[in-house]
Structure 1
Amino acid sequence: MNPATVALGTEHEELTYAELAARVEHTATRLRELGVSAGTRVAYLGPNSIDTWVCFFATARAGGIFVSLNIRLAPPEIGYMLADSGSHVLVHGPECAELATAAEPTEHGVAHVLPAADLRPSSRPESAAGSPLLDPIDAQDPVELDDPVLILYTSGTTGRPKGAVLTHANITWNTVNQLAHIDVLSTDVALCVAPLFHVTGLGQVSMPTLLKGGTVVVVPKFDAGGFLALIARRRATCFSAVPTMLQMLCEHPDWESADLSSLRYVIYGGSSIAEDVAQAWLDRGIVLQQGYGMTEAAPGVFMALPRGALARPVSAGVPHFFTDVRLEVDGEVVPGPGPGELLVRGPNVFAGYWNRPEETAQVLAEGWYRSGDVVRIEDDGWAYVVDRVKDLIISGGENIYPAEVEAAITELADVTAAAVVAVPDPKWGEVGCAYVVLGAGADLDEIALRAHLEQRLARYKIPRYVELCDDLPRNATGKVLRSVLREQARHDHPTPH
């Protein structure tokens, strides 16, 4: 690692590794002055930026736990996460000042709310490359590998998001897994476009590149045309994305003329990719490597190998080097081949859900994480995701749990029952369709319902379609038959071609 190499860059700013070290040290000192020490939670609300990275590293340097918040959430959702995590400090980017205020952080126990600019040094430090620019912070608490470093909130199956706790070891071993799987180079230029409030943005490309001493170009917002131009301008070698982004890129008018010759690898995950999209990238000489994982695994579990991805375009690949997998079929554990519920174990598997021992115990036993996904492993060891938790909706790479949306809908006094199911969508993969039962004499309409949801949920969670109905199909025990509703939704809203 060369201290003079650019570590992080944007269109307007660059930091070498020496300057990054100085900036992190300065920010860690400021955080300590605000009362951050071992275990203190520091929340961050903002799009991808150099400030995001600096605050993450500085929080870890001070012994704290970084709470990365999704900027697409509604103020009440953010307020809940601030309270649930017990965040002591909230740092926000300039784009999220209003959102931070609307979340009422002080009402949720946050002691300090400040813009990210307040944590920057007053002037850019200057020093010979490789020499320390600031004295290390005093009274540094020792940090162990098993100490928590990051809380990422995942949509809750019971209607409330829960914070997945990742340790220093989880992040480190996921990075090592990536390096064992991919030839990351010190000369790589990685585009960090996947949001840093998702574990993919942090773990799949950016952290491995930084560990090898390469350059990470931070992209605050995805725009297909601008991103294609950025690849050429920066001579980017790699990035990670969700299928929706890859589709937008290959459908853009600049696609055919874009210079993609510098790309060495592109990783995608979150949902399957359409065959025509994959073919469009193959036609440009670029093999897409599908990865499969989850926040609870920091995130990598499987990833396709370049030499086999072309022949297996829909496979999630093979297990990461330091990750163990096994399948459970009818209560019995089998190594494969064949289908079964996927269990995952390894040093990258999370420590549990923040302050939720019962929910942690439901999915984590003797180090094995129960994914809820059905995976088929072939004789050659390559895996295919067969099915997943039926209720989950994946829209544009974002996970949506119907229970959370249904809970918000049924807050309305006019609503007696609600069920949300997935409908295929050519752009986003899936969108939600809500079936809503109103009480006698209710005059609630779709406009009022949407207005209610917009105050409580992120926009991507609000169902694309709303159907008012007399009742929901149920079985003999009263359980909603979601399979029937899914078929009905596909009939009511067929996928356009």
Structure 2
Amino acid sequence: MDVSAEAQGIGSWLRLRAVKSKGHPALVFNGAELTYDELADRVDGIAAGLRARGVSRGDRVAYLGDNHPSFVEAMFATARLGAVFVPLNTRLAAPELAYMLADCGASLLISTPALAGRADEAAAGSAQPLVQVRVGADGDDGAGDDFEALLDAPPLTDLPDVGLEDPALIVYTSGTTGRPKGAVLTHGNLTWNALNVLVDYDVTSTDRALMVSPLFHVASLGMGCLPVLLKGATVLLQERFVAAEALASIETLRATTISGVPTTFQLMADDPTWATTDLSSLRLMTCGGSPVPDRVREAYEARGLRFSGGYGMTEASPGITLLPPQHTAAHPRSAGLAHFFTRVRIRDTATGELAGPGVAGEVEALGPNTFLEYWGNPSATADARTRDGWLRTGDVGLLDEDGFLVIADRIKDMIISGAENVYPAEVENALMALPGVTGAAVIGLPHERWGEVPHAVVTLAPGAELTSEAMVERLSVSLARYKVPRTLEVVAELPRTASGKVPKRLLRQRYDRTGAP
């Protein structure tokens, strides 16, 4: 297909790479390789199949599944058509997925076999007709076509003109009001974020990047997969993270880079095969979500490996800062320096003025990688920007004299559990829907493995009862398991301010902040 048929969108990348990197492996999955020219041909064929099923410019195509080549193929095929790709979190419950499908108005849903039942349930609850496509479906699957059948469509003879300003992804991020918001990331956002990664992490065309974190997370997709493919390097896909399998892949596939969260690296260091695994191919390890615990950092440093940390959010595609490995010893608690094409500043929350070095305030970011809008939510979009266009992160931090960012706290009460964002308002709404619950507050308590886990504090009507076991059973129907509180405390009364709000700070002071619940 003529590469001049489309402009600058990410959908052009693979066809261009097919020429520049012909024969070089783009994806490796379960021992099978796809070269750049093979991948580009498949993407063109899948785009034709999606068009034959009614997908056109601006339509939303959702994907529910673990890491698999079909994720990458579907994303780039959707981009070829000027449509919008919507990666869905596989850990979410069917009602949560149904809300997202309805909210973005998805017209087609692609799912993998392990998620087929949940996909059917979510599609049935989305309140609109959906074309379904299954990866690896057999001919008797009445829910939709087999993904491979998309390749049977006649080749496309035309493509829309896709520019950097056009929407490419809608990535859902939980909202403080209890409803998730769809962050719209443009082709330009993803391109500039990838350029930030290429510049700041020195990605080379000979890199072999092991992807163990789910691609539906913008961190794995934006900081790992997309920059690697833009550079013409190789993505080593692992379906889901298993510590022993990740270690084996590093050794046998000669992975040069790996990214994850502190829990990822802790589980690898604790695995029985850790001491005997050959890690000599690794040159770069990136870790986000929260600071790396000292014992984990020391375990890797004993093997001659150093971490590169960072800070970001979905709305920044997601990179805002990075901490290069050479600075980790001097700045162990820092989130690093602003990415090359991104700027960071601090606004004093008390005065509303810009803060100087060493003064804490809200972190604000500016760059071509910051998002376009929240899908269908103009008020939330307006709240996310300052008057002069900077992204408001909602996090409290400070910049030192050299520009290194330290995250001090979160303005919002978000809990980060195993790198998953948990917003208390969403969980509190679910708790309040339970019979007999008259008040609810959810806070994060420290946990050795997951960083934080939700803890619920509730008040009950006279005669009502609620146990931790009953709470987990009831909430697991409507919430992802990582959002369900691990522990429950029933109190006679919740502390409240004059305006009726529960001051979470007072609740946290009741607990030992140094140990797991």
Amino acid at match of 1:181: D
Question: Could you tell me which of 347, 353, 358 is aligned with 1:328?
Answer: 347
Q: Which residue pairs with 2:510 in the alignment?
A: 488
Match of 1:441, SS state, is coil
The answer to whether residue 441 in structure 2 is matched with residue 446 in structure 1 is: no
Match of 2:73, SS state, is helix
Check 1:53–1:347 CA distance in 2 against 1; reply closer, same or farther (3 A cut). same
Paired residues of 2:394 and 2:412 also in contact (CA < 8 A): no
Taking the aligned partners of 1:90 and 1:120, their CA distance within structure 2 comes to 11
Question: Could you tell me which of 296, 306, 310 is aligned with 1:277?
Answer: 296
Taking the aligned partners of 2:59 and 2:77, their CA distance within structure 1 comes to 12
Q: Which residue pairs with 2:382 in the alignment?
A: 361
Question: Could you tell me which of 326, 333, 337 is aligned with 1:318?
Answer: 337
Taking the aligned partners of 2:396 and 2:203, their CA distance within structure 1 comes to 31
Question: Could you tell me which of 249, 256, 259 is aligned with 1:230?
Answer: 249
Q: Which residue pairs with 1:190 in the alignment?
A: 209
Cα-to-partner distance string for 1:19-54 (whole Å, 9 max, x where unaligned): 000110011011111111111000000001100010
Amino acid at match of 1:328: R
Cα-to-partner distance string for 1:77-129 (whole Å, 9 max, x where unaligned): 0001101111000100111101111223464314201203446446999xxxx
Q: Which residue pairs with 1:130 in the alignment?
A: none
Q: Which residue pairs with 2:8 in the alignment?
A: none
Paired residues of 2:209 and 2:236 also in contact (CA < 8 A): yes
Taking the aligned partners of 2:439 and 2:125, their CA distance within structure 1 comes to 34
Question: Could you tell me which of 156, 167, 171 is aligned with 2:186?
Answer: 167
Taking the aligned partners of 1:97 and 1:141, their CA distance within structure 2 comes to 32
Residues matched between the structures, number: 487
Amino acid at match of 2:369: N
Gaps of 5+ in 2: 1-19, 137-144
Question: Could you tell me which of 423, 437, 441 is aligned with 1:415?
Answer: 437
The answer to whether residue 42 in structure 2 is matched with residue 23 in structure 1 is: yes
Question: Could you tell me which of 473, 493, 500 is aligned with 1:478?
Answer: 500
CA RMSD of superposed structures (Å): 1.9
Match of 1:202, SS state, is helix
The answer to whether residue 71 in structure 2 is matched with residue 49 in structure 1 is: no
Paired residues of 2:185 and 2:372 also in contact (CA < 8 A): yes
Taking the aligned partners of 1:73 and 1:35, their CA distance within structure 2 comes to 27
Question: Could you tell me which of 221, 225, 236 is aligned with 1:217?
Answer: 236
Taking the aligned partners of 1:337 and 1:416, their CA distance within structure 2 comes to 43
Q: Which residue pairs with 2:411 in the alignment?
A: 389
Cα shift at 1:423: 0.5
Taking the aligned partners of 1:235 and 1:110, their CA distance within structure 2 comes to 45
Paired residues of 1:164 and 1:354 also in contact (CA < 8 A): yes
Taking the aligned partners of 2:425 and 2:442, their CA distance within structure 1 comes to 8
Q: Which residue pairs with 1:4 in the alignment?
A: 23
The answer to whether residue 470 in structure 2 is matched with residue 424 in structure 1 is: no
Amino acid at match of 1:431: V
Cα shift at 1:422: 0.7
Match of 2:274, SS state, is coil
Taking the aligned partners of 1:157 and 1:390, their CA distance within structure 2 comes to 7
The answer to whether residue 305 in structure 2 is matched with residue 286 in structure 1 is: yes
Match of 2:512, SS state, is helix
Taking the aligned partners of 1:229 and 1:179, their CA distance within structure 2 comes to 27
Paired residues of 2:415 and 2:423 also in contact (CA < 8 A): yes
Taking the aligned partners of 1:2 and 1:136, their CA distance within structure 2 comes to 23
Counterparts of 1:25-174 in structure 2, within 5 Å, are: 25-105=44-124, 107-117=126-136, 118=145, 120-121=147-148, 137-174=156-193
Match of 2:77, SS state, is helix
Match of 2:199, SS state, is helix
Gaps of 5+ in 1: 126-133
Amino acid at match of 2:433: E
Q: Which residue pairs with 2:364 in the alignment?
A: 343
**Higher mean displacement: 98-107 or 340-349:** 98-107
- Normalised to the residue count of structure 1, the TM-score between the two structures is 0.94
**Higher mean displacement: 352-361 or 111-120:** 111-120
Paired residues of 1:82 and 1:110 also in contact (CA < 8 A): no
Amino acid at match of 2:436: D
Match of 1:448, SS state, is helix
Amino acid at match of 1:164: A
Cα shift at 1:276: 1.1
Cα shift at 1:375: 1.5
Taking the aligned partners of 2:236 and 2:337, their CA distance within structure 1 comes to 28
Question: Could you tell me which of 482, 489, 492 is aligned with 1:460?
Answer: 482
Q: Which residue pairs with 2:14 in the alignment?
A: none
Taking the aligned partners of 1:316 and 1:53, their CA distance within structure 2 comes to 29
Paired residues of 1:346 and 1:367 also in contact (CA < 8 A): no
Match of 2:411, SS state, is coil
Between the two proteins, what is the percent identity of the paired residues?
46
Taking the aligned partners of 1:169 and 1:107, their CA distance within structure 2 comes to 30
**Higher mean displacement: 243-252 or 137-146:** 137-146
Taking the aligned partners of 1:285 and 1:105, their CA distance within structure 2 comes to 52
Cα shift at 1:137: 1.8
Cα shift at 1:413: 3.0
Cα shift at 1:402: 0.3
Paired residues of 1:26 and 1:121 also in contact (CA < 8 A): no
Match of 1:325, SS state, is strand
- Normalised to the residue count of structure 2, the TM-score between the two structures is 0.91
Taking the aligned partners of 2:512 and 2:490, their CA distance within structure 1 comes to 16
Taking the aligned partners of 1:78 and 1:15, their CA distance within structure 2 comes to 31
